[in-house]
Amino acid sequence: MLVAMSGGVDSAVAAAMLSEAGYDCIGVTLRLVPDRPGRSLFEPCCGLEAAEDARRVCAQLGIPHEVLHAAAHFDETIIAPFVSEYRAGRTPNPCVWCNRRIKFGALYERADALGAEYVAMGHFARREYRGGRYALRRACHRDKDQSYVLAALEQEQLRRAVFPLGMCSKDEVRAYAARRRLVVAARRESQEICFVPDRNYAGFIEQREGPAAPGPILDLSGKILGAHRGLIHYTIGQRRGLGIAAKRPYYVVRLDPEQNAVIVGHEEECFCASFTVGEIIWGALPPQRAPLSCRVQIRSRHEAAPAMIHPGTPDNHVRLRTAQRSVTPGQWAVFYDDEDYVLGAAMITGFTPEPICPNPA
């Protein structure tokens, strides 16, 4: 079994659990940046320090370890599209694409070369077999659930995926690591995008491709309220940093790349009751044509809301039972049933803001 080793405590415990259970394991660490002296741009999960920590854990466990260099593939497949999407006024989620194309793509190719049937990850999620299909399910402990960023995996990818931590809490993982005296037991975890560790997405993009063009800030009627620094500096739902003096705060409602404009509105104008998505990657359900009731999660930290999917149209339509804030093109909509199985997932492609009172009397 190939175990993806990031150098963190979660993947270390996944490897230790599988090794302890008697599986023949090999740890593989992805190197997603070119080797160069000094601090790596990618920290903490893709740099030299992380690779060394993974090697030390494997040595403790008595299993082989290797490093898989995939910098060029990562740049072409993840970073370049991320930059392109941001410049086009969308807000992509590179972690979803990385899991689909790199972690469950390049690592699967390496697993084939090593003769490994399965690929294990330190993600908090469950994989089950239900109704003739492989189904992703939320982790037992919802506060650490990572099924949202795994939801774009297809059936063949899920067939070979193993998630040893799906039944565990983070405290249990830490306790196991301490009990086994793993060298990464106390290592902190990161919540950032690995190639933008300081969360300055606009700065990263400008460093890579140069400054973005400034343009107008408009209200929903088209009135000019101010000027923006470039679309890459803004995202839907943003309130701070707009530089607009007003009696009531404005929020970013939409980004318009054709006009190079930031469209803003007041809080009640930030709600959305319906949106469209691209191709649906079906999970626990086979491809559907009839309308389907579900719960939809529209961001990694969003609480899934009741909705109805209308698949099979040119733009798959999603109608929310209760309007939500900050529906964002480029992010993913993940559809769950009431038992926390992932029914499917798709990227959000468009929406129409609908003024709604957030606290009706």
Q: What is the pLDDT of residue 144?
A: 92
Residue 255 pLDDT exceeds 60? yes
Q: What is the pTM of this model?
A: 0.91
For residue 15, the model assigns a pLDDT of 97
Handedness of CA 229, 232, 237, 240 (dihedral sign): negative
Q: Kindly report, residue by residue over 194-238, the tens digit of the pLDDT.
A: 788 778 889 999 999 999 999 999 999 999 999 999 999 999 999
Annotated catalytic sites, by residue? Answer: 98, 194
User: What homologous superfamily does CATH list for 2-122+164-179?
Assistant: HUPs (3.40.50.620)
Give me 264's structure tokens: 């803003």
82-125: per-residue pLDDT in tens?
A: 999 999 999 999 999 999 999 888 999 999 999 999 999 999 99
Could you write out the three-class secondary structure of the chain? CEEECCCCHHHHHHHHHHHHCCCCCEEEEEECCCCCCCCCCCCCCCCHHHHHHHHHHHHHHCCCEEEEECHHHHHHHHHHHHHHHHHCCCCCCHHHHHHHHHHHHHHHHHHHHHCCCCEECCCCEEEEEECCEEEEEECCCHHHCCHHHHCCCCHHHHHCEECCCCCCCHHHHHHHHHHCCCCCCCCCCCCCCCCCCCCCHHHHHHHHHCCCCCEEEEECCCCEEEEECCHHHCCCCCCCCCCCCCCCCCEEEEEECCCCEEEEECHHHCEEEEEEECCCEECCCCCCCCCEEEEEECCCCCCCEEEEEECCCCCEEEEEEEEEECCCECEEEEEECCCCEEEEEEEEEEECCCCCCCCCC
Domain ranges of the chain: 2-122+164-179, 211-269
> Does 211-269 carry CATH code 1.20.840.10?
no
Predicted confidence (pLDDT) per residue in 159-176, tens digit: 999 999 999 999 999 999
**Where does the pLDDT of residue 359 fall: very low under 50, low under 70, confident under 90, or very high at 90 and above?**
very low
Least confident of 12-26, 32-46, 306-320, 341-355: 32-46
Render pLDDT for 115-133 as a digit per residue (tens, 0 to 9): 999 999 999 999 999 999 9
Q: Is the pLDDT of residue 357 over 60?
A: no
